[in-house]
């Protein structure tokens, strides 16, 4: 198919306009399976992007085609680390499952399914029903069972999370009822005050329910497990991207981890069930003082400062100062005698190390064509850990 321009500057995984253009040209519903390659572009945007797409019905007339090149044949060949939803069989099975689940719930799909996103970590589809839209999320086998984690949060604060309509944990398929409102990029002071202390209250309750160990099925990313995986990270590809001076400093940081972890534990905050990616883009709100959390794919068991620090890189200095104080005040009330402000300072290099490890896990488990989504991320987080450590020293 001839190249075409997509209006605006969407990220590569924001495939809604791409799928819509393909459907208009072919005259049948179409989904984008995955990104094949990119010429140019940066930070996940722009450039000349090639996708692998699937027509959900036979087009009325054949589009203009040409023989595939050897390079294209190689890109389309099966790969053992390909996401199930990035294959024709996988995406058709997911859509069929969603339609059948909604029929059982007496909420049949009433019109065309709209693909919103797809990338190396997840896919997202909007399904129209008489009672409002429903969201189908397709995930990877290395993501958590989101329905399970949402259930833990809902047991404490049911209005803080989306309603799960159906789930297939084995295939990482999830149907969620629509959450009205908008994502909270650039949150107001009211939204920060609505989201941050509420998270602390939920996590304090879950810490009491799951003391010292995660609930079944949830990854344990306790700080005390970090030294071994951080050392392995430095010995791998991420460490090789650092300069010799950076590697020396990073090794010194890893050597200091036991001391840092002990000081963090002395701050008196309990480990708990984390959201894992608590930035404002994962808050949904239709009212100035009400928030619903979405996207629990990176949930784990660990130190609450991981979530406490997450808004820092996604908010203004004023909003971050407010968020840090709101988080600290909430935990001082929930765990008398604790020192949350010091915990945030001490945890920052540990949190960046944890992100470096997680990004490397992604790179180790996705196919080569997807690596552009996270290339350089582990080394960037290692550098951020070094900078945070030097600030906190």
CATH number, domain with residue 102? 3.30.200.20
Please report whether residue 4 resides in a domain.
no
Choosing from 177, 210, 226, the residue where a domain stops is 177
Predicted confidence band of residue 4 (pLDDT cuts 50, 70, 90): confident
Token pair recorded at residue 365: 């488990």
Residue 212 confidence class, pLDDT cut points 50, 70, 90? confident
Confidence of residue 61 (pLDDT cuts 50, 70, 90): low
Work out the mean pLDDT of the chain and round it to a whole number: 94
The pair of three-digit structure tokens given for residue 106, joined into one six-digit string:
């007496």
2 in a domain, yes or no? no
Give buried/exposed letters for 275-311 (b at 16+ CB in 10 A, else e).
bbbbbbebbbbeeeebbbbbbbbbbbbbbbbbbbbbb
Residues whose CB falls within 8 Å of the CB of residue 12, separated by 6 or more in sequence, listed in order = 35, 38, 41, 44, 45, 49, 119, 373
Asked if residue 1 has pLDDT above 80, the reply is no
Does the pLDDT at position 124 exceed 80?
Answer: yes
Give the pLDDT band of residue 43 (cuts 50, 70, 90).
confident
> Are residues 243 and 379 part of one domain?
yes
pLDDT value, residue 312: 97
Residue 10's pLDDT is what? Answer: 82
For residue 3, is it within any domain?
A: no
Residue spans of alpha helices (H) in 210-243: 226-234, 237-240
Query: CA 325, 330, 333, 334 torsion: positive or negative?
Result: negative
The more confident residue out of 177 and 390 is 177
Of 143, 161, 177, the one marking the end of a domain is: 177
The answer to whether 349 touches 388, Cβ cutoff 8 Å, is: yes
Confidence of residue 287 (pLDDT cuts 50, 70, 90): confident
Q: Where are the beta strands (DSSP E) in 178-231?
A: 182-183
pLDDT digits (tens, 9 = 90+) for 167-204: 999 999 999 999 999 999 999 999 999 999 999 999 99
Task: Quote the Cα angle for 189-341-308, to 5°.
Answer: 55
| Global pTM value | 0.94
171 with 196, same domain: the answer is no
**29 with 93, same domain?**
yes
Helix axes 340-365, 226-234, angle to 10 degrees: 50
Structure tokens at 227: 């030294």
Q: How many domains does the chain have?
A: 2
Residue 337 included in any domain: yes
Tell whether 263 and 312 lie within a shared domain.
Answer: yes
Taking residues 218-228, report their average pLDDT.
96
CB-CB contact of 357 with 106 (8 Å): no
The C-alpha atoms of residue 385 and residue 377 are separated, in whole angstroms, by 12
Question: 167 with 187, same domain?
Answer: no
- Co-location of 307 and 159 in the same domain: no
- In this predicted structure, the answer to whether residue 135 has a pLDDT above a threshold of 70 is yes
| Residue 172 and residue 94 in one domain | yes
Domain stop point among 149, 177, 205:
177
- Do 193 and 58 share a structural domain? no
Give the range of the structural domain holding residue 382, as residue numbers without chain letter: 182-392
Residues 228 and 267 in one domain: yes
In a domain, 7, yes or no: no
Q: Name the least confident of 9-23, 136-150, 172-186, 301-315.
A: 9-23
- pLDDT for position 3: 82
Sequence-separated contacts (24+) of 317-324 with Cβ below 8 Å: 319/187, 319/189, 319/192, 322/189, 322/192, 322/193, 323/192, 323/196
pLDDT band at 288 (very low <50, low <70, confident <90, very high): confident
Q: Is the pLDDT of residue 343 over 90?
A: yes
Helix and strand totals (H; E) in the chain: 12, 12
Residue 11 has pLDDT above 70, yes or no: yes
- For every residue of 370-392, which 3-state class applies, written as one string? HHHHCCCHHHHHHHHHHHHHHHH
- Do residue 45 and residue 170 come from a single domain? yes
Mean pLDDT for the stretch of residues 225-240: 96
Q: Please check whether residue 208 lies inside any domain of the structure.
A: yes
Q: State which H helix or E strand residue 94 sits in.
A: helix 88-104
* Run of H or E including 291: strand 290-293
pLDDT at 154 over 80: yes
For range 315-335, the mean pLDDT: 98
* pLDDT over 70 at 65, yes or no: no
From 7-11, 285-289, 363-367, the region with the lowest mean pLDDT: 7-11
Q: What is the DSSP letter of 62?
A: P
> Strand (E) positions, 152-270?
164-168, 173-177, 182-183
As a whole number of angstroms, the distance between CA 143 and CA 326 comes to: 30
Give the C-alpha distances (Å, rounded to integers) separating 108 from 32, 105, 135, 205.
23, 8, 13, 37
User: Domain check: are 263 and 355 in the same one?
Assistant: yes
Here the CATH number for the domain that contains residue 203 is 3.90.1200.10
């Amino acid at each position: 198919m001839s190249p075409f321009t997509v209006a605006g500057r969407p990220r590569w995984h924001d495939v809604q306009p791409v799928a819509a253009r393909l459907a208009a040209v072919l005259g049948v519903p179409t989904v984008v399976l995955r990104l094949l390659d990119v010429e140019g572009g940066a930070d996940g945007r722009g450039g000349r992007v090639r996708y692998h797409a699937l027509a959900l019905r036979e087009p009325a007339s054949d589009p203009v085609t040409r023989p595939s090149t050897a390079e294209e044949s190689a890109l389309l060949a099966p790969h053992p680390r390909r996401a199930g939803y990035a294959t024709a069989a996988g995406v058709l099975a997911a859509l069929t499952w969603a339609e059948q689940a909604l029929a059982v719930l007496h909420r049949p799909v009433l019109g065309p399914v709209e693909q919103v996103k797809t990338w190396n970590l997840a896919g997202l589809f909007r399904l129209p029903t008489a009672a409002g839209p429903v969201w189908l999320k397709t995930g990877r086998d290395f993501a958590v069972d989101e329905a399970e984690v949402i259930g833990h949060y809902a047991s404490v604060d049911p209005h803080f999370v989306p309603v799960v309509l159906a789930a297939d944990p084995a295939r990482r398929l999830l149907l969620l009822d629509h959450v009205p409102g908008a994502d909270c990029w650039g949150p107001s002071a009211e939204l920060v005050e609505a989201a941050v202390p509420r998270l602390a209250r939920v996590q304090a309750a879950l810490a009491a329910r799951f003391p010292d160990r995660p609930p079944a099925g949830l990854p344990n990313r306790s700080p005390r497990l970090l030294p071994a995986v951080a050392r392995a990270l430095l010995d791998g590809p991420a460490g090789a991207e650092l300069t010799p001076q950076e590697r020396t400093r990073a090794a010194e940081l890893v050597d200091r981890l036991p001391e840092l972890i002990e000081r963090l534990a002395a701050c008196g905050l309990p480990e708990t069930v984390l959201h894992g990616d608590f930035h404002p883009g994962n808050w949904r709100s239709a009212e100035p003082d009400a928030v619903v959390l979405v996207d629990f794919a990176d949930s784990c068991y660990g130190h609450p400062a991981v979530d406490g620090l997450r808004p820092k890189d996604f908010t203004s200095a004023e909003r971050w100062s407010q968020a840090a104080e709101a988080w600290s005040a909430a935990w001082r009330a929930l765990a008398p005698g604790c020192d949350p402000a010091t915990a945030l300072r001490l945890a920052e290099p540990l949190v960046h190390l944890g992100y470096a490890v997680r990004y490397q896990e992604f790179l180790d488990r996705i196919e080569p064509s997807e690596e552009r989504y996270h290339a350089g991320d582990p080394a960037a987080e290692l550098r951020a850990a070094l900078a945070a450590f030097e600030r906190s020293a």
